[in-house]
Amino acid sequence: MDIYVEPIEEEQLKPLFTDPKQLGFGSIFTDRMFTMKYSKDKGWHDAKIEKYKPFSLDPAACVLHYSQEIFEGLKAYLSEDGKVLMFRPEQNARRMNRSAKRLCMPEIPEEYFLQGMKELVLMERRWIPDAPGTSLYIRPTLLGVEPFLGVNPSAEYLFYIILSPVGPYFKAGFNPVSIYVEDKLVRAVVGGVGDVKTGGNYAASLMAGLKAQEKGFSQVLWLDAKEQRYIEEVGAMNIFFVYQDKLVTPPLTGSILPGITRASIIEMARDLGYQVEESPITIDEAIEGITEGRIKEVFGSGTAAVISPVGSLYYKDKNYVVNNNEVGQITRTLYNGLVDIQYGRAEDKYGWVHVLGRK
């Protein structure tokens, strides 16, 4: 694929963030973005790395009315010896294409997705922060942009990738978060689009998220939509329950996102000798396990959140504290194992890390 690179004058470049230790999540964007168009007659065309700027969209664009939109989230990391690394980006390309299929959007050839992203990241490498726990968050997005008001798949699409230097997703960093278990609103039903990374899922989650925040909780834990009994996932993470020597995480039944971090943790944990079960767990079982001390630790997993210890679950007006609201040993071991691979500090025996170049 030929990518046209729009020249940007040195003096047009944005000032870099001042202190990488102060970075929050997702409010600073780099100088450039990758864009590529699709139309039925031309297929994918017009690949560009251009200046980061607002788009102009027709007010009738399909995405603005019927939400034909999907996205991905992954990160570029800087190793201590100055290498630019990415973690399993081909998995994001594949998940994006599974999402595209479900929403009747054109698939993006994996090699275009990876090439566009890697060239953009390398061009923007001055933006990759180097403080511990920081990285460059990558947001590939696909929109249906044909202007029409009938409910049909769009005939035209815009794919773009933007970059944001980030610190921890949760203000607390690697410290236990408090979670609100939502028992009225639901996120997704089996057969719907809960396992697809599409904006509508997040729009539907806002009301419960806001309610949880107002009550002082970091995130919502969703239960299944049918019975409100089975644990599904957290707003931006999958969830794991740690028993003595066993990890349990809800299975991928179609209403939760198949997390790439989740899959990586399952593989790593098994290699470390833990038993891992992908099996249904009800909220009552979880509460009972926590209260009786059989569930020793709980943590969430996601690209933005990495591995986040859960310090408490609030369910039906009662708060259940996990592991004394402290980071557990297994959570810490898995966290260190994962970030050591992501930042190139440990041997990557899985072949998960792509080396793009040097900063």
Closer CB to ligand PLP, residue 48 or residue 262? 262
- In the list 154, 178, 249, 303, the residue contacting ligand PLP (rule: CB under 6 A) is 303
- In the list 103, 117, 236, 356, the residue contacting ligand PLP (rule: CB under 6 A) is 236
Q: How far is the CB of 195 from ligand PLP (least distance, A)?
A: 9
Q: Which of residues 222-251 bind ligand COI (CB under 6 A)?
A: 236
Using CB under 6 A as the binding rule, whether residue 194 contacts ligand COI is answered as: no
- In the list 177, 304, 334, 356, the residue contacting ligand COI (rule: CB under 6 A) is 304
Burial of 247 (0-12, 13-18, 19+ CB in 10 A): buried
Q: How far is the CB of 353 from ligand PLP (least distance, A)?
A: 16
CA 59, 61, 67, 71: dihedral to nearest 10 degrees?
-110
Q: Summarize the chain as % helix, strand, coil (round to 5).
A: 25, 30, 40
**Tokens representing residue 200 in the block:** 């509508």
Rounded Cα distance, 242 and 245, in Å = 7
Q: How far is the CB of 236 from ligand COI (least distance, A)?
A: 4
Rounded Cα distance, 237 and 73, in Å = 12
Handedness of CA 315, 317, 323, 328 (dihedral sign): positive
Q: How far is the CB of 179 from ligand COI (least distance, A)?
A: 15
Closer CB to ligand COI, residue 198 or residue 303? 303
Burial of 181 (0-12, 13-18, 19+ CB in 10 A): buried
- In the list 34, 38, 49, 73, the residue contacting ligand COI (rule: CB under 6 A) is 73
User: Residue 323 binds what, of ligand PLP, ligand COI, none (CB under 5 to 8 Å, by partner type)?
Assistant: none
Stretch that binds ligand PLP, among 31-39, 124-132, 163-171, 233-241 (CB under 6 A): 233-241
Stretch that binds ligand PLP, among 155-163, 206-214, 257-265, 319-327 (CB under 6 A): 257-265
Rounded Cα distance, 114 and 121, in Å = 10
Q: Which of residues 66-85 bind ligand PLP (CB under 6 A)?
A: 73
Structural contact between residues 187 and 176, judged by C-beta atoms closer than 8 angstroms? no
Rounded Cα distance, 207 and 331, in Å = 30
Using CB under 6 A as the binding rule, whether residue 261 contacts ligand PLP is answered as: yes
